[in-house]
Amino acid sequence: MLGALLVGAADLPVPGVLKALAGTVPFVRVDSGLGVVEHNVLFELRLPRVLMAALVGGLLAVAGAGYQGVFRNPLADPYLLGAAAGAGVGATLVIVALPGAPRFAVPVAAFTGAVCGVLMAYGLGQVASRGGLGETGGGTGTLVLAGVAVANFLSAIQTFLQQANSQQLQRIFAWILGGVGTADWGQLRMVAPYALIAVTVLLGHGRLLDVLAVGDEEAVTLGMSAARVRLLVLVAASLATACAVAVSGLISFVGIVVPHLVRRLAGGSYRIVLPLSLLVGGAFLELADLVARTVVAPAELPLGVVTAFVGGPFFVLVLRATRRQVDV
């Protein structure tokens, strides 16, 4: 985060940046020596962007770890239950129907669409599955299939809207490819409460996810409701995903790459995987955003393109490792 604050198109003096940051601490008064323009660049452009990248990366990674714990599958993704497709429809509707809407309208619509997509998938899964989430066989599998069906349905709606409003395609695609270049303090304040709730719930269920990984019979023996744990984790992970998608668009592979990397380095216990995924996910997306805005400066690469360059090959490696484990 500090590196991302110091590197950019505008050169900021390192001592001045450090003093300005120290001056934000309560009861600390430091003269940073920064001019008005430098101060605005630091606090109105770079700092919100840096905080947003860390927040989005952490949310996607911890949500991915939560989904993987529920579905017992290292390839489970934060966009599994239709959150991405719902957010895409919500954002597209605002872009094509309200081209003059204020900036906060797209994140709000994307957040609403993501939540609606997940609710549709969960509702369809409950209708289709007699056993519900408490059963290891049909419940989670049916929910995944419901999420795929809802995602395809919503994606079809988004494609229709794009074709009917071709003049807005550039703006729609810019949102779909993802990025945090438009982050501001208003967006951070909008998603922070929901993000805090989602992260708190997920981190509080690490031990219970460890029990679920052993089996539902052990969970019942310990007096734990497997269905309740799965539902709470799914809701919290979906809320975290909705928060991230609402303010950054669609950024792929973070929720797969980071939890898997953490498990490789620190073990498989979700009491460790969840908090480390939160931290490593924030650092990973911070680095990706730094690359996105410097590698072709003064232009910027879409953040989703950078994460795909890293995540695509990594996904193949994860798939091969998972296949070998299944064969064994």
What integer pLDDT is reported at residue 137 of this predicted model? Answer: 43
List the Cα angle 150/151/154 in 5-degree steps. Answer: 85
**Residues 6+ away with beta carbon under 8 Å from 168:** 95, 96, 99, 162
Is 300 buried (19+), middle (13-18) or exposed (0-12) by CB count in 10 A? middle
Q: What stretches in the chain show pLDDT beneath 70? A: 129-140, 318-319, 321-328
The CA-atom distances, in angstroms, between 44 and each of 37, 58, 107 are 10, 22, 19
Which structural domain range is residue 33 located in?
A: 2-327
What integer pLDDT is reported at residue 189 of this predicted model? Answer: 92
Question: What is the tally of structural domains in the chain?
Answer: 1
What integer pLDDT is reported at residue 134 of this predicted model? Answer: 47
23 by DSSP, 3-state: which? coil
Is 85 buried (19+), middle (13-18) or exposed (0-12) by CB count in 10 A? buried
In whole angstroms, what is the distance from residue 263 CA to residue 40 CA?
Answer: 40
Query: What is the CATH number for 135?
Result: 1.10.3470.10
227 by DSSP, 3-state: which? helix
Question: What's 9's DSSP letter?
Answer: S
Q: Which pLDDT tens digit goes with each residue over 106-115?
A: 888 989 998 8
Q: Which pLDDT tens digit goes with each residue over 104-144?
A: 888 889 899 988 998 898 888 878 765 555 444 456 678 88
In whole angstroms, what is the distance from residue 72 CA to residue 67 CA?
Answer: 8
